[in-house]
Structure 1
Amino acid sequence: MPVHAIPPSQLLQYLVAAVALVLVVGFRMRRLAQSRPLLVERLWIFPAVYLAITVYLLAEFPPTSFGWLYCALALVAGGALGWQRGKTMRISVDPVTHQLNQKASLAGMAFLLVLIAVRSGARIEGQAMHLNLGMVTDILVVFALGLFAVQRVEMYTRAKRLLAAAQAAMPPAIVSPTR
């Protein structure tokens, strides 16, 4: 849709969203250099909350028969991309304390920006092509569910593997003989 065809109120919405996105990305880029603790026992919380939101949205506004097929394909595609995004997260183990740490990568941030651009483009083009925006929203919500859930699964399995390797590499403790 050409810019001159967008109503001024909608153009203002796009501008506000773009400014908010730039601010959020700016803050996230500053935090990329910082390493944060990774609590593997809490990785399930965000996908579980997002699953509840997804179930609510799909129950409240159920897709059509073909919509369910598209949602299933979006879940698989989101899972595949979530696995790739999870692999971009840097996970390290402190050799002394065995504390797991995570550090987001620039590739992961670029990946998110591309997904946001695709989502925005799908919404704009969906309106221009007179697509069912409810179905487009359902597909994108299910896609995000696959992305978030599988990303956390990949991070969990890799963190557990790294932690087990670090613990196995630790020299045995010196035990004093008992009398």
Structure 2
Amino acid sequence: MGEGGRGLVTYLPLAIFVGIMALRMMRMKKARPLRLPLLWIMPVIVVLAVSLALAGMPPSGLGWLCLATGVIVGGAIGAQRARLMHLHIDGEGEKARVMMRQSPLAILLIVAVFLARRFLLPSGFQGGGMQNAAHPGHPVGNALLMMDATLGFALGMIVALRLVLWLRARDMVANHVFDA
């Protein structure tokens, strides 16, 4: 593959990410309904997908550690992102519903995670920084450890985000708080 092909492979994911973040920033000011009965669907899908991935290729001992670390870090970031979102109740009585609006800080948190993943994490997995017991320092072993950590990160982030949003919204409705 020539130089032009490598540049495209390098910058295309970045361009897609920038486009998606620009769209999210434009739609950030509009509040949308938070459907509490449906918040469980995405965590279940992610748990099933991660379970299938782990069943297909079970991690080694170090892989489980990477997975657990990813769940913890992802959970912390997901919970923080959920706390940064603006929730309020729109309407009165039977027509009242919880509305959610993205916070600029929540979007910046996702951008910071992406940049850290893009520019900081890969260097730690090169040159034998993390090793697979079967192939010490081998790039395939490093990639598998990175995959385990990424699976754990996605799982922790989605589950914590949805759980914290559900808890906040439930408390707002129960305590008749109109803005949180």
The counterpart of 2:127, out of the listed 126, 129, 138, is 129
Alignment RMSD, CA only?
Answer: 2.0
Assess if the C-alpha contact under 8 Å between 2:89 and 2:96 holds in 1. Answer: yes
Residue matched to 1:117: 115
1:95 CA drift (Å) = 4.4
Residue matched to 1:172: none
1:146 aligns to what SS in structure 2?
helix
1:14 CA drift (Å) = 1.6
2:51 aligns to what SS in structure 1?
helix
Unaligned runs of 5+ in 1: 1-5, 168-179
- Equivalent pairs, count: 162
Q: How does 1:9-158 map to 2 (within 5 A)?
A: 9-96=5-92, 97-121=95-119, 124-125=122-123, 128-129=126-127, 131=139, 132-158=142-168
TM-score, structure 2 normalization? 0.82
The whole-number CA distance in structure 1 between the counterparts of 2:102 and 2:127 is: 36
1:101 aligns to what SS in structure 2?
strand
* Amino acid across the alignment from 1:70: C
2:176 aligns to what SS in structure 1?
helix
Unaligned runs of 5+ in 2: 129-138
Assess if the C-alpha contact under 8 Å between 2:125 and 2:146 holds in 1. Answer: no
TM-score, structure 1 normalization? 0.82
1:102 aligns to what SS in structure 2?
strand
Which of 1 and 2 has greater Rg?
A: 1
Deviations 1:24-61, CA, capped at 9 Å, x for gaps: 11111011000000001111111111111111111222
